[in-house]
Structure 1
Amino acid sequence: MSELAAGHGSESWRFVNSNSASAIGILSFAFMCHHSSFLVYESLANNTQQRWNKTTHISVAVSAVLSAAFAISGYVPFTSFVQGDVFENYCWRDDLMNACRGLYSLTILLTFPIECFVARGVLETSFFSQQQPLSFTQHALLTGTIAALVMLLALTTDCLGMVLELNGILVAIPLAFILPGLSYIRVLEGPILCPEKYQAWGVVAFGCVALLAGLVTLLMNLDSLSECSHGKQMEYCFTDFNGTLEPVVF
C-alpha cells in the first residue's frame, strides 16, 4: 500500500511551505485546552501553583509527544496524498481501519460532552446567575440545546481539514497566544514594558504574526479551502484490470 500511496518528488518532504501558517493554527487548535483550565485546577488535590505547573507541563509534554507520533505515522505512508482526516486515506475494505474508525467515533462520543460542560458553565454563570442552582429540567434543557446546536453545525461539512484550519487561525491562535498574553500583561503589576512582561509581549507578538500570516494564507487559498475527498476512496484504492477499475484489497 505504501508503494501505491507514495508521494511524488522532494516536495512531499519539505518541512516548511506556503501552508505553514495554517499548520500553526491547526496545532494551536489541537492544544487548545484553556477553557478547561479552571475545571482541572479545581479538581486538583492541594491545588498549589507548584502542583499546577507540574500538571500542565507534564500534560502538554505528553500531548506533544503523542501528537508528533500520530502526525508522523499518519503522514509518512501517504505524503502528498494525506487528507485532513487521515482515515479518509485508508480504503473501505481495510478491516483494521474500519475498526479504528469505530473506536475513534466512540472516543469522540464520550469526550464531546466534556466540551459542552465548559460552555454550559459559562452560559449558566452569564445568563442564569440569579437562578443558581438550576433545576434538573433547566440543566438538561441547556445541555441538550448546546449539544444539538453543535451537532447541527458539525453536520454542515465533512471536510475536517477546512474546519481545523478555520478554527485554528480565527479562534485558536487568539485564544492560545494573544488573549492570555494580554491578560497577563494587564493583571501583572508594573509598567506595561517592564522586564517581567517581556515574555508575555513575545507571546502576543508571535500570536499576531501567526494570525496575520494565517489570514493571508487563508485568503490566498480560499478557492481550494474546501477541497477534500468527501468520503470517496483515494485513487490508489483501485487498480486497472481489463480496462475496469476494481478495489484493491490490502
Structure 2
Amino acid sequence: MERGGQEPPPPAAQQIEADDETALVIKPRKKRGNSDLASAGFNIINSIIGSGIIGLPYSMKQAGFPLGVLLLFGVAYITDYSIILLIKGGNLSSTSTYQELVKKTYGLIGYLILSTLQFLYPFIVEPGNVLTDRHFIILFTTIIFTLPISLYHDIAKLGKVSLISLILTIVILVIVMVRTVTFSPQVPKSENAWIFAKSNAVQAIGVMSFEPTLNNWSRITHVSVSLAVIISVVFAACGYMTFAEYTEGDIFENYCRDDNLATFGRFCYGVTVILTFPLECFVTREVFANVFFHGNLSTIFHIIVTVIIVAVATAISLVYDCLGIVLELNGVLSATPLVFIIPTACYLRLSEERWNHSDNIISCLILAVGALVMTVGFVLTILHPQECSHGKEMFYCFPSNVSFHNSTLPP
C-alpha cells in the first residue's frame, strides 16, 4: 500500500480470481473475458446466499424486524469491507491467498485456526433438508447429481451451475412474495411482531453472517454482494411479514403441506441445495489439500477426498434435519471470525498507517463487534436453542384451530 492510502493497481500480468472462501488466489493469465467475471460473480452470489437464505426470516424474528433489516445491511457492508481489508493485507504482506496472509501474519497457529474455520463453514452448511421423503431423495440426488458435479477441478466451471441456482433462488423469492399477499391473511396476528429490537439480536447476526469471498480488483465484488443482500433482505422481509412470530428456522416449514405453490418452492430450494453443495465442497476440499498436500492433489486423491466429504456431509444430513440451530452455531463460530475477526486482525497487524487512520478505527470496531457476536451468540444459542418442528403441520393450516386461537388472543 502506498503511504497516501491509495491502492496500486494489480500487475497487468496477473489477475485475482475468485476462489470462493479460500480467497485471493492469484494466477497469471493472458486474457480474461467477461464470461469469467460473470462466472465469478455468480459463484460469489451463490456462496453468499446459499442454502441459508431460508433461515433469514427467522433472523428477523430473533432480532426484531426493523433492527433485523438494519443488521442485514450492516453485515453485508462489513462483508464487503472485509474483502477490501484482505486485499490490502495481501498487498502489505506480499501474499496471494487468505491462508498465506494469516500464516505470514500470525504464524502456524493462525494458519491452522483459519484452515479449521474455512473447512467447517462450508462443510457444516452442506447438509440440506429437501422435500418430503428426504432420506431417499438425499441419497438419490447425491449419487446422481451432487457427487459428479463436486468432482470438478476448476471452480470456473461451476459458474453456470451457480447461475442456475441464482435463477431458482429468484423463483423461490417470487413464490415467497406471492404468498405474502395471498397467505398472510390466514395467519393469526401475533403480539410484539413489529417491535424494533429483541434480545436475541446477536443470534440473528450469526444467521446473517456471510463468509468473505474475494474477486479481482474491480466492481464485480461490490455488485455481487449488493445483489445478494437485496435478495436476502426482500426474502427475509416477505417471509417474516407473512408469519411474524410463528416464523420457523426453515421458512418452508411454515407453509401448509397442501400448498402446491409452496411445494414447488421446496422443490426449487432442493435443487439450489444440490447446486450449492459442489461449490462448498470445492472450498472444503481445497482447504484440506492446502493443509495436508500443499495444495496439490493427485486425481486419485482428488476423487477419494471428494467422496469422503460428500459421504460424511450426506450422512449428517440424513440423521439431523433441524436447520435453525445449525445456522446459528455455524454463523457465530465459523462465519463471524472469518468475516469480522480474522481480516481485521491481520490488517491491524500489518497496517503502516497511523493509529487514527479510518481503516484502523473501523477495523477495531469490526473486531470488537465480531468478538461480542461470537461470544454472546454462542452462549445464547446454547442456553436458548431453537426447537425443531420439521415435518409438523402448522396450526393455522386447520381453520378450526385458527378460530380457536383467535378467540383466545387478548383484545
Asked if TM exceeds 0.5, the reply is yes
Q: Is it true that 1:102 corresponds to 2:267 in the alignment?
A: yes
Following the alignment from structure 1 to structure 2, what is the Cα–Cα distance between the partners of residues 236 and 12? 17
Equivalent pair of 2:329/2:378 in contact (CA under 8 Å): no
- Give the counterpart of 1:236 among 393, 396, 404: 396
Q: Could you tell me how far 1:78 is from its partner in structure 2?
A: 0.9
Following the alignment from structure 1 to structure 2, what is the Cα–Cα distance between the partners of residues 206 and 180? 13
Q: Is it true that 1:173 corresponds to 2:336 in the alignment?
A: yes
1:14 alignment counterpart:
195
Following the alignment from structure 2 to structure 1, what is the Cα–Cα distance between the partners of residues 352 and 364? 15
Q: Identify which range, 231-240 or 69-78, moves more after superposition.
A: 231-240
Following the alignment from structure 1 to structure 2, what is the Cα–Cα distance between the partners of residues 74 and 239? 21
Distance change in 2, residues 1:147/1:187 (3 Å): farther
Distance change in 2, residues 1:17/1:121 (3 Å): same
Equivalent pair of 2:256/2:394 in contact (CA under 8 Å): yes
TM-score (norm 2): 0.50
1:81 alignment counterpart:
246
Following the alignment from structure 1 to structure 2, what is the Cα–Cα distance between the partners of residues 7 and 162? 25
- Give the counterpart of 1:209 among 345, 368, 372: 372
Matched-pair identity in %: 39
Distance change in 2, residues 1:145/1:219 (3 Å): closer
Following the alignment from structure 2 to structure 1, what is the Cα–Cα distance between the partners of residues 326 and 241? 23
2:277 alignment counterpart:
112
Q: Identify which range, 209-218 or 228-237, moves more after superposition.
A: 209-218
Q: Could you tell me how far 1:230 is from its partner in structure 2?
A: 1.9
TM-score (norm 1): 0.80
Q: Deviations over 1:49-104 (max 9, x none)?
A: 3x1xx122211111111101001111111111111111011111111111111111
1:27 alignment counterpart:
208
Equivalent pair of 1:6/1:77 in contact (CA under 8 Å): no
Q: Deviations over 1:105-130 (max 9, x none)?
A: 01110111111111111211221238
Q: Identify which range, 66-75 or 154-163, moves more after superposition.
A: 154-163
Q: Is it true that 1:153 corresponds to 2:296 in the alignment?
A: no
Q: Deviations over 1:206-234 (max 9, x none)?
A: 1122223313422441xxx1402121110
Q: Identify which range, 17-26 or 166-175, moves more after superposition.
A: 166-175
- Give the counterpart of 1:2 among 184, 190, 193: 184
Equivalent pair of 1:7/1:81 in contact (CA under 8 Å): no
Equivalent pair of 1:6/1:79 in contact (CA under 8 Å): no
2:14 alignment counterpart:
none
Equivalent pair of 1:88/1:229 in contact (CA under 8 Å): yes
Give ranges in structure 2 of 5+ residues lacking alignment.
1-182, 402-411
2:102 alignment counterpart:
none
1:248 alignment counterpart:
none
Following the alignment from structure 2 to structure 1, what is the Cα–Cα distance between the partners of residues 339 and 302? 29
Q: Is it true that 1:123 corresponds to 2:288 in the alignment?
A: yes
Following the alignment from structure 1 to structure 2, what is the Cα–Cα distance between the partners of residues 190 and 2? 53
1:187 alignment counterpart:
350
SS of 2:399's equivalent in the other structure is strand
Following the alignment from structure 1 to structure 2, what is the Cα–Cα distance between the partners of residues 121 and 173? 21
Equivalent pair of 2:252/2:262 in contact (CA under 8 Å): yes
Equivalent pair of 1:5/1:78 in contact (CA under 8 Å): yes
2:86 alignment counterpart:
none
Q: Deviations over 1:16-75 (max 9, x none)?
A: 1011111111111xx22x2x43xxx3xxxxx4x3x1xx1222111111111010011111
SS of 1:12's equivalent in the other structure is coil
Q: Could you tell me how far 1:239 is from its partner in structure 2?
A: 3.2
Which amino acid is 1:126 matched to?
A: V
Distance change in 2, residues 1:215/1:136 (3 Å): closer
Q: Could you tell me how far 1:190 is from its partner in structure 2?
A: 5.3
Following the alignment from structure 1 to structure 2, what is the Cα–Cα distance between the partners of residues 121 and 218? 30
Equivalent pair of 2:325/2:381 in contact (CA under 8 Å): no
Paired positions, count: 218
